[in-house]
Structure 1
Amino acid sequence: MNSDIPDEAVLRQQVDRRQLQQIIAGLREGILLIDPVEGIVWANECALALHGVDALEGLGTTAADYRQRFVLKYRNNHTLADDQYPIDRLLSGETFDGVTYEVTKRSEDDEEQSWRCVHEVRGHALTDARGKPESYVIVILDMTERFTAEERFERTFNANPAPAIICRLADLRYVKVNQGFLEMTGYVREDVIGRSAYELDVLENAPGKDKAIEALRDGRTISQTEAVLRLPEGGSKFVVVAGQPIEIGEEPCMLFTFMDMEPRRKAEDALRQSEERFARSFKMTPVPTMLSARDGLRLLDVNDAFVATFGFAEEEIVGKTGPELPIWVSSIARRQLEHEVEKSRSLRNFELRLKVKNEAVLDCMLSAETVLIHGQECILTVIQDITDRKHSEIELITAIETVMHDTSWFSRTVIEKLANLRQGGKRNGAASELADLTDRELEILGLMCQGLSDKEIVGKLGLTRNTVRNHVARIYTKAGIHSRASAIVWARERGVTGVEDARPPRSARRR
């Protein structure tokens, strides 16, 4: 009877182990059972999957077999020594809890080598009724997804050019900082990691700072706000900062991201200083100057020289549109001026006559340029009074014409120069001369001066009507005129009254 008792005890032990295996087979954790003598005796499906094998044989039988098949590394990439493997630690009588390591396979196959899994393990001894270790169990949690996500976040965080820093909420100390923050501030990593949010205040001078600190302590989102960062070498930097709650290693943290506003602030300061310099220069310029909005040509400002020259106070004219300004002598000239500015956005040396407040008329030369002020396109117009110069030119021309009233011996070139001076030259371009015309155009111009119509010129020269019209159109273009009467006046001012006068010297003829 007594000889049967050990057999019953062994049978009971085997039944108990099978029941235990049935209970734990479906657990989400991986379970390895280790026998002190037989080694690895059982593993559930989850444990096999967490090692990338299909059967128990893939794990090996003994602790040495396991080490030959799998390489274990701590999270700091340090490879475990033989006696640090979890099976070896259990067999040496050591239990453990919450140990994390990375598992890879020893294999020459590239696919096998690329396989990896992250385990968090705890090891326990299963004792008998007397408390003596009978077998051991390793419980494995799959941490691969979590650590892979953390690695992705770590890579993204470090590679992100946007400055960022992470503060642990438990003690309000910084645990991570990326290169963007270090480059923006000039800190080194050791100066940031471990410091408290009070030592390195990222919310300094922020409007509503108290509410932001309360949100930080409660782990709530901190909306974008302006703040000032103190720099390690002294000085400060203007930033926009925002906070987003996250978890790092299951610890609540706050991710602070920053936008460096210093370049914008410097640009705004430079723009403000530039505008101040422009305003001072505008007012102090000794030449009459006015500033108008490009849209509608509404007058925005005039300088002191404009007021002194034209006699209008600022309040009398500022705010008026182009047609409403009381300085125009000719509406045609005004429209031409507006058209030129609209077409080319600038204008140089445009001659016209302008009125002052006492109705006197000035000969002026205008130059205009499109400028951008406060984001608005404006026209800056500079007005030069050339009245005295024009009077001097007229007096000179009159004197010459008086002396040289008999122009029969006067060269055509001199006559043309006098005609150009009398008219002030061709506006916005070089003065036109008879030398600009071809022989045929001179011939047709002479016939026009004799009073012949296009039809009569066709009959006289044997040309087609279209050919004559084309020559006449080119004469108009070169002379800057628009009618037959103007062409005749233009020609007679240059000593041409007929075909004979229109024929140039042989050396001057153009083919």
Structure 2
Amino acid sequence: MVKRSGPTSITHQHLRSIIGGLIDGVIFIEADQRISWANESALKIHGVASTEDLGHTVTAYFRRWLLKYRNHHELTRAQYPMFRLARGEQFDGVVVEVTPRKGEGELRMHRLRGITLNDDENEPLAHVLIIEDLTEQHAAEQRFERAFNANPAPALICRLSDLRYTRVNAGFLAMTGYRHQDVVGSTVYELDILADADGKSQAITNLHEGQTILQMESTVPLPDGSSKDVIVAGQPLEDASEPYMLFTFIDLQPRKLAEQALRQSEERFSIAFRLAPVPMLLCDLKNLQMLEVNDSFLDMTGLQRGDTEAREITQLGIWPHPQQITSLQASMGEHSGLSGVDIQMRTKDDETLDCILSADLVTIGGQACMLAVIQDITERKHTEGELLTALDAVMQDTSWFSRKVMDQLARVRQPAHDTHTQKALELTPREREVLGLICQGHNDAEISSALSLSRNTVRNHVANIYNKIGVSRRSDAVIWGRERGFLASRKISGTSPRT
């Protein structure tokens, strides 16, 4: 029969050997409040090299180290974990910020647990303070906090244990109009961001399981009772001390407003296109497939709307020269716009129309299209032809025509109340002839000889001319007559006109 040995006696030295290499810091506090020992981890997470640097006693530790809660409230002496242990209190999960009271030292974050070791008679033998270093985690949380708050994209953080929102950034508050206190602390049921989600049931399941919630359209209730269209997605925060869900949002209102404005613009364009008094057509620029024509186009060509549907523009049978259309297509590709292009069209009744076509490039639904406006100028060309024929006939005898034109021009130059212009029309043929010779610069003697008139008769004609045209000097008569085209039909040989 094997004899069992008695229980092994475990001393402080044995305990120190066991816990010396632990990651967590461990500090031994004797019953008389002396700090008797600390492992390497405890020294390291305080940023010191020896136990003496921590403080020989609990009071010395208090004087050397400043402890604050996470809300930055400073702990009183009685709240210090070591004093609580000395009073026999045991605790767990106390998180504090630790910095040296003197000098500059790194802020460290510790999670503390206090244990009292009793002897066989249940009397305190020693106290143990176990320290978990949260400094790196705290720094990471601070970085995340800054990034979260600075991110312009609306975002919420929900704690999965009770489904309450714990953080909200400025982007979400700006998007919705909520205040910070309206959101933080409320549950996902009170501020239901998934109420109208496309895949609400799956999203709720993923939320409870801490799984990723894929992007989906939903609505966010607003303080005024209305709602806002959004895209929402959820991403679990796996590195947190407890599970959270990060919700991010994309505001769809600008897109919705843009879509609404686009629809209204397209409706206005459609109405203007349909009711335009000039013929218009719309076709695909790439393959010339007809997209739309207005009523004026159908009236001009005699086609029915069904004749233009699902057909290329060159297949409508209204172009005597279809190659002109393909040429227009190439020009549109180079210049993106055409103006005043002469083109002929043929109606359903086989009548040929002379037209002017202007076109521009428009984009509809991402598709390059040609919008063409056509003006029928057949009647205008016919009228122009008749006018040219009449002018050609008139120009066969231009002498009287030019004089009439000059008279009309002179009448335009004179004020409406000038009666002398009317008097000019009362000049006799002989007076006109005399005035023409005067305008050529001849004197009375030369006029008398040229017209076989006496000098006295010439002077009488000149006086009558002055009186009728309202001048008193020969130079004024010359100016008046030349403005109205009075030049003599005959020239006096052997003399040089005076200028």
Match of 1:145, SS? helix
Q: Which has the larger displacement, 245-254 or 51-60?
A: 245-254
- Measure how far apart 1:135 and its partner are: 2.7
CA deviations over 1:162-219 (Å, ceiling 9, x no partner): 2121222333222222221111111112111222222211112222322322222233
1:44 to 39, 42, 67: 39
Residue 189 of structure 1: aligned partner: 180
- Measure how far apart 1:257 and its partner are: 1.6
1:326 to 317, 320, 327: 317
TM-score by length of 1: 0.72
Correspondence 1:203 to 2:194: yes
Between the aligned partners of 2:202 and 2:127, the Cα distance in structure 1 is 54
Q: Is the 8 A contact 1:36 1:135 kept in 2?
A: yes
- Measure how far apart 1:222 and its partner are: 2.0
Q: Is the 8 A contact 1:74 1:80 kept in 2?
A: yes
Correspondence 1:25 to 2:16: no
Q: Is the 8 A contact 1:118 1:144 kept in 2?
A: yes
Mark the runs of 5 or more structure 2 residues left unpaired by the alignment. Answer: 1-7, 406-499
Q: Is the 8 A contact 2:155 2:249 kept in 1?
A: yes
Q: How does 1:131-142 map to 2 (within 5 A)?
A: 131-142=122-133
- Measure how far apart 1:339 and its partner are: 3.7
Q: How does 1:302-451 map to 2 (within 5 A)?
A: 302-331=293-322, 333-405=324-396
2:220 to 229, 240, 265: 229
The verdict on how the C-alpha distance between 1:376 and 1:218 changes in structure 2, with shifts beyond 3 A counting, is same
The verdict on how the C-alpha distance between 1:248 and 1:197 changes in structure 2, with shifts beyond 3 A counting, is farther
Correspondence 1:281 to 2:267: no
CA deviations over 1:289-335 (Å, ceiling 9, x no partner): 10011112222111111111111222223333344342223345445
Between the aligned partners of 2:152 and 2:345, the Cα distance in structure 1 is 59
| Amino-acid identity (%) | 49
Correspondence 1:215 to 2:206: yes
1:160 to 145, 148, 151: 151
Match of 2:46, SS? coil
Between the aligned partners of 1:120 and 1:334, the Cα distance in structure 2 is 82
- Size of the aligned set, in residue pairs, is 396
Residue 79 of structure 1: aligned partner: 74
Residue 54 of structure 2: aligned partner: 59
Q: Give the aligned residue type for 2:364.
A: I
Residue 242 of structure 2: aligned partner: 251
Between the aligned partners of 2:313 and 2:237, the Cα distance in structure 1 is 61
Q: Is the 8 A contact 2:216 2:232 kept in 1?
A: yes
- Measure how far apart 1:264 and its partner are: 0.8
Match of 1:401, SS? helix
Match of 1:399, SS? helix
The RMSD of aligned alpha carbons is 2.6
Residue 450 of structure 2: aligned partner: none
CA deviations over 1:236-283 (Å, ceiling 9, x no partner): 111111222335863333222211111111111111121122112211
Residue 103 of structure 1: aligned partner: 98
Mark the runs of 5 or more structure 1 residues left unpaired by the alignment. Answer: 1-11, 415-511
Q: Which has the larger displacement, 136-145 or 338-347?
A: 338-347
Q: Is the 8 A contact 1:302 1:318 kept in 2?
A: no
Q: Is the 8 A contact 2:33 2:58 kept in 1?
A: no
Q: Which has the larger displacement, 80-89 or 326-335?
A: 326-335
- Measure how far apart 1:28 and its partner are: 2.0
Q: Is the 8 A contact 1:150 1:248 kept in 2?
A: no
Match of 1:241, SS? strand
Q: Is the 8 A contact 2:116 2:124 kept in 1?
A: yes
Q: Give the aligned residue type for 2:208.
A: R
Q: Is the 8 A contact 1:369 1:379 kept in 2?
A: yes
Structure showing greater radius of gyration is: 2
Match of 2:288, SS? coil
- Measure how far apart 1:46 and its partner are: 0.9
Between the aligned partners of 1:191 and 1:236, the Cα distance in structure 2 is 16
Q: Which has the larger displacement, 273-282 or 32-41?
A: 32-41
Correspondence 1:88 to 2:83: yes
Q: Give the aligned residue type for 1:243.
A: G
Between the aligned partners of 1:334 and 1:76, the Cα distance in structure 2 is 78
Residue 436 of structure 1: aligned partner: none
Match of 2:392, SS? helix
- Measure how far apart 1:381 and its partner are: 0.6
Between the aligned partners of 2:242 and 2:286, the Cα distance in structure 1 is 59
Match of 1:83, SS? coil
Match of 1:20, SS? helix
CA deviations over 1:466-506 (Å, ceiling 9, x no partner): xxxxxxxxxxxxxxxxxxxxxxxxxxxxxxxxxxxxxxxxx
CA deviations over 1:427-461 (Å, ceiling 9, x no partner): xxxxxxxxxxxxxxxxxxxxxxxxxxxxxxxxxxx
Q: Give the aligned residue type for 2:85.
A: L
Q: Give the aligned residue type for 2:290.
A: L
Between the aligned partners of 1:346 and 1:278, the Cα distance in structure 2 is 19
Between the aligned partners of 2:298 and 2:93, the Cα distance in structure 1 is 87
- Measure how far apart 1:128 and its partner are: 3.0
CA deviations over 1:33-91 (Å, ceiling 9, x no partner): 12344721211111111111112222121234323432222111122223322223333
- Measure how far apart 1:133 and its partner are: 2.2
Q: Is the 8 A contact 1:296 1:322 kept in 2?
A: no
Q: Give the aligned residue type for 1:386.
A: I
Between the aligned partners of 2:89 and 2:162, the Cα distance in structure 1 is 33
TM-score by length of 2: 0.74
Between the aligned partners of 1:30 and 1:127, the Cα distance in structure 2 is 21
